[in-house]
Amino acid sequence: MKMEKIIAAVLFLLGSIFGSFANVCIWRLPREESIVWPPSHCIHCQKPLKFWHLLPIISWLILRGKCGMCGGKIPVRYPLVELSTGVLFALIGWQWGLSVETLVYCLLSLALVISIGTDLSHQEIPDQVSLGAAAVLGLIALVTFNWGSLLGGAILFSLLLLIAVASRGGMGGGDIKLGLAIGLALGWRLALVAAAAAFFTGGILAVGMLLRGKKGKALPFGPFLAAGAWIAMFLGDNLIACYINLSLLLWAW
């Protein structure tokens, strides 16, 4: 078996376990509960889970989406979060192998998955996630002398702050802090791609909602920032190359 395949498989397993941790964070952080104590318990009967209830994705499938003790329904969000974190980690490992990029992108992806969850359920992105990720990513940038990362963090943070001020609160503080983490992970070039992609996808949906008469309903921007970050992470270099070629073509014409 090729090395990339082994790395991707190991990272899928690791990602699904971190996805299970993400589920705990998504449920507990907005409720201001500790993420380490008490140990995982059923949200219905509060009984602590046995280890075979904790296997990512598999437990949910075997128990058919129900608690093994009280039969309470476990939302499909749980295996979905585990699966998507696993797939993201695997794709990153496949592309970047054993490298600092893989570590940085997996860390960011975990923070993004949790942010999407809490932003959709509680319209907030906890500081522990955004600033916690930013602190670790900033430290990695410092010890690897990656000035492009620090610049990326500064650019995205200032850009979103500017929009927040200009739109008088149209952009939340959580989004700005998440932007800092995204910029630190991606570096300044990809951070700009991420911002453009986030506004593009967010803009399309906002226009769609306006056209369907759903005016005035604030869109949580966290999921779009996350989508933008992943687009930049996986496709950014190609998008930049396309953009430059297109600009040169138009300029020559």
Which residues in this chain contact Zn ion in the complex, by CB under 5 A? 42, 44-45, 67, 69-70, 72
Q: Least distance from C-beta 41 to Zn ion, angstroms? A: 8
Residue whose CB is less far from Zn ion, 69 or 151: 69
In angstroms, how far is CA 130 from the centroid of its own chain? 10
Q: Least distance from C-beta 114 to Zn ion, angstroms? A: 23
Residue whose CB is less far from Zn ion, 5 or 47: 47
Contacts of 151 (CB under 8 A, 6+ apart): 187, 188
Residue whose CB is less far from Zn ion, 42 or 193: 42
Residue whose CB is less far from Zn ion, 45 or 100: 45
In angstroms, how far is CA 115 from the centroid of its own chain? 6
Q: Least distance from C-beta 58 to Zn ion, angstroms? A: 18
Q: Least distance from C-beta 101 to Zn ion, angstroms? A: 40
The count of residues in the chain is 253
* Token pair of 216 as six digits: 């005035």
Residue whose CB is less far from Zn ion, 67 or 129: 67
Q: Least distance from C-beta 116 to Zn ion, angstroms? A: 26
Q: DSSP alpha helices (H): ranges in 34-146?
A: 58-62, 77-96, 100-122, 127-143
Q: DSSP alpha helices (H): ranges in the chain?
A: 3-28, 58-62, 77-96, 100-122, 127-143, 147-166, 173-211, 222-252
